[in-house]
Protein backbone atom coordinates (compact mmCIF):
# COMPACT_ATOMS: atom_id res chain seq x y z
CA UNK A 1 0.00 0.00 0.00
CA UNK A 2 1.21 3.47 -0.82
CA UNK A 3 0.36 6.60 1.12
CA UNK A 4 0.99 10.30 1.12
CA UNK A 5 1.97 12.15 4.31
CA UNK A 6 -0.91 13.83 6.13
CA UNK A 7 -1.00 15.74 9.41
CA UNK A 8 1.77 15.44 11.97
CA UNK A 9 1.01 15.53 15.70
CA UNK A 10 3.48 15.95 18.55
CA UNK A 11 1.77 15.82 21.93
CA UNK A 12 1.94 14.92 25.59
CA UNK A 13 -0.61 12.44 26.91
CA UNK A 14 -2.29 13.47 30.20
CA UNK A 15 -0.98 11.68 33.30
CA UNK A 16 -3.22 8.81 34.39
CA UNK A 17 -4.53 7.91 30.93
CA UNK A 18 -4.19 4.38 29.63
CA UNK A 19 -1.76 4.84 26.74
CA UNK A 20 -3.39 2.46 24.24
CA UNK A 21 -6.92 3.73 24.96
CA UNK A 22 -5.71 7.31 24.56
CA UNK A 23 -4.14 6.64 21.15
CA UNK A 24 -7.30 4.90 19.93
CA UNK A 25 -9.50 7.74 21.19
CA UNK A 26 -7.19 10.39 19.71
CA UNK A 27 -7.31 8.67 16.31
CA UNK A 28 -11.10 8.51 16.43
CA UNK A 29 -11.46 12.18 17.45
CA UNK A 30 -8.99 13.39 14.82
CA UNK A 31 -10.42 11.06 12.13
CA UNK A 32 -7.06 9.38 11.61
CA UNK A 33 -7.40 6.12 9.64
CA UNK A 34 -3.76 5.34 9.02
CA UNK A 35 -0.66 6.53 10.88
CA UNK A 36 2.77 5.77 12.25
CA UNK A 37 3.07 6.20 16.04
CA UNK A 38 6.29 6.74 17.97
CA UNK A 39 6.80 7.75 21.56
CA UNK A 40 8.86 7.95 24.72
CA UNK A 41 8.03 8.53 28.36
CA UNK A 42 7.25 6.52 31.46
CA UNK A 43 4.47 4.00 32.24
CA UNK A 44 3.06 2.61 35.48
CA UNK A 45 2.31 -1.11 35.79
CA UNK A 46 2.54 -1.85 32.08
CA UNK A 47 1.22 -5.11 30.67
CA UNK A 48 2.64 -6.35 27.39
CA UNK A 49 1.94 -9.45 25.35
CA UNK A 50 4.03 -12.13 23.70
CA UNK A 51 2.21 -13.90 20.87
CA UNK A 52 2.74 -17.65 21.11
CA UNK A 53 2.44 -19.47 17.79
CA UNK A 54 1.83 -22.70 19.72
CA UNK A 55 -1.26 -21.57 21.60
CA UNK A 56 -2.28 -18.92 19.05
CA UNK A 57 -2.78 -16.34 21.77
CA UNK A 58 -0.94 -13.66 23.68
CA UNK A 59 0.86 -14.57 26.88
CA UNK A 60 0.49 -11.63 29.29
CA UNK A 61 3.64 -10.16 30.81
CA UNK A 62 2.65 -8.02 33.80
CA UNK A 63 5.19 -5.54 35.12
CA UNK A 64 4.80 -3.81 38.46
CA UNK A 65 6.05 -0.32 39.17
CA UNK A 66 7.09 2.59 37.00
CA UNK A 67 9.09 1.83 33.85
CA UNK A 68 10.83 4.10 31.40
CA UNK A 69 9.03 3.90 28.08
CA UNK A 70 12.26 3.68 26.11
CA UNK A 71 10.56 3.16 22.79
CA UNK A 72 6.97 3.03 21.65
CA UNK A 73 6.54 2.11 18.03
CA UNK A 74 3.53 1.10 16.04
CA UNK A 75 0.78 2.04 13.66
CA UNK A 76 -2.87 2.86 13.31
CA UNK A 77 -5.10 1.18 10.75
CA UNK A 78 -8.74 0.09 10.56
CA UNK A 79 -10.19 -2.87 12.45
CA UNK A 80 -13.96 -3.50 12.64
CA UNK A 81 -14.59 -0.09 11.05
CA UNK A 82 -12.66 1.81 13.74
CA UNK A 83 -9.13 3.19 13.98
CA UNK A 84 -7.03 0.63 15.82
CA UNK A 85 -3.58 1.22 17.27
CA UNK A 86 -1.06 -1.63 17.24
CA UNK A 87 1.79 -0.61 19.53
CA UNK A 88 4.95 -2.28 20.78
CA UNK A 89 6.80 -1.00 23.85
CA UNK A 90 10.34 -1.35 25.13
CA UNK A 91 10.38 -0.70 28.88
CA UNK A 92 13.27 -0.20 31.28
CA UNK A 93 13.41 -0.56 35.06
CA UNK A 94 15.58 1.21 37.67
CA UNK A 95 18.45 -1.24 37.03
CA UNK A 96 18.36 -0.66 33.30
CA UNK A 97 16.85 -4.08 32.66
CA UNK A 98 14.70 -4.06 29.56
CA UNK A 99 11.37 -5.78 28.96
CA UNK A 100 9.01 -5.42 26.10
CA UNK A 101 6.23 -6.67 23.93
CA UNK A 102 2.88 -5.92 22.37
CA UNK A 103 1.32 -3.14 24.46
CA UNK A 104 -1.88 -4.24 26.25
CA UNK A 105 -2.22 -1.68 29.05
CA UNK A 106 -0.09 0.89 30.81
CA UNK A 107 -0.95 3.98 32.84
CA UNK A 108 0.81 7.08 31.62
CA UNK A 109 3.11 8.93 33.99
CA UNK A 110 4.62 10.79 31.04
CA UNK A 111 4.18 10.09 27.35
CA UNK A 112 5.39 12.19 24.45
CA UNK A 113 3.97 10.97 21.16
CA UNK A 114 4.71 11.58 17.51
CA UNK A 115 1.84 10.61 15.23
CA UNK A 116 2.31 10.83 11.47
CA UNK A 117 -0.95 10.51 9.59
CA UNK A 118 -0.85 8.73 6.23
CA UNK A 119 -3.40 9.44 3.51
CA UNK A 120 -4.62 6.87 1.00
CA UNK A 121 -6.83 3.84 0.74
CA UNK A 122 -7.87 2.41 4.13
CA UNK A 123 -5.55 -0.27 5.47
CA UNK A 124 -7.83 -2.89 6.99
CA UNK A 125 -7.10 -5.58 9.59
CA UNK A 126 -8.86 -8.91 9.01
CA UNK A 127 -9.22 -11.97 11.20
CA UNK A 128 -6.79 -14.61 9.97
CA UNK A 129 -8.10 -17.42 12.18
CA UNK A 130 -5.14 -17.37 14.57
CA UNK A 131 -6.42 -14.71 16.96
CA UNK A 132 -4.54 -12.15 14.90
CA UNK A 133 -6.09 -9.41 12.79
CA UNK A 134 -3.62 -8.71 10.03
CA UNK A 135 -3.35 -6.68 6.85
CA UNK A 136 -3.34 -8.35 3.44
CA UNK A 137 0.17 -9.38 2.44
CA UNK A 138 1.88 -7.21 -0.14
CA UNK A 139 2.78 -9.29 -3.21
CA UNK A 140 5.58 -8.12 -5.47
Q: List residues binding Zn ion (CB under 5 A).
A: 102
**Residue (2 or 137) nearer to Zn ion, CB:** 137
Which CB sits closer to Zn ion, 25 or 102?
102
Contact 74, 37 (CB under 8 A): yes
Q: How far is the CB of 86 from Zn ion (least distance, A)?
A: 5
- As a whole number of angstroms, the distance between CA 100 and CA 70 comes to 10
Minimum Å distance from CB 29 to Zn ion? 23
* Residue nearest Zn ion, CB atom distance: 102
Tell me if 89 sits within 8 A of 75, measured CB to CB.
Answer: no
Helix, strand and coil content of the chain, in percent to the nearest 5, comes to 10, 60, 30
Q: Which is nearer to Zn ion, 79 or 102 (CB)?
A: 102
The nearest distance, CB 15 to Zn ion, in angstroms, is 25
Nearest distance from residue 123's CB to Zn ion, in Å?
15
Residue 104 Cα distances to 6, 9, 44, 88, 121, angstroms: 27, 23, 13, 9, 27
Give 6 or 18: the residue with its C-beta nearer to Zn ion: 18
Amino acid sequence: MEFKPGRVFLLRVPEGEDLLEFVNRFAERKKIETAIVKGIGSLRNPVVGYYSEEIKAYKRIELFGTFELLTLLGNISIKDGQPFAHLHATLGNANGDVFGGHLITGEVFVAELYIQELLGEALIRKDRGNNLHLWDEERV
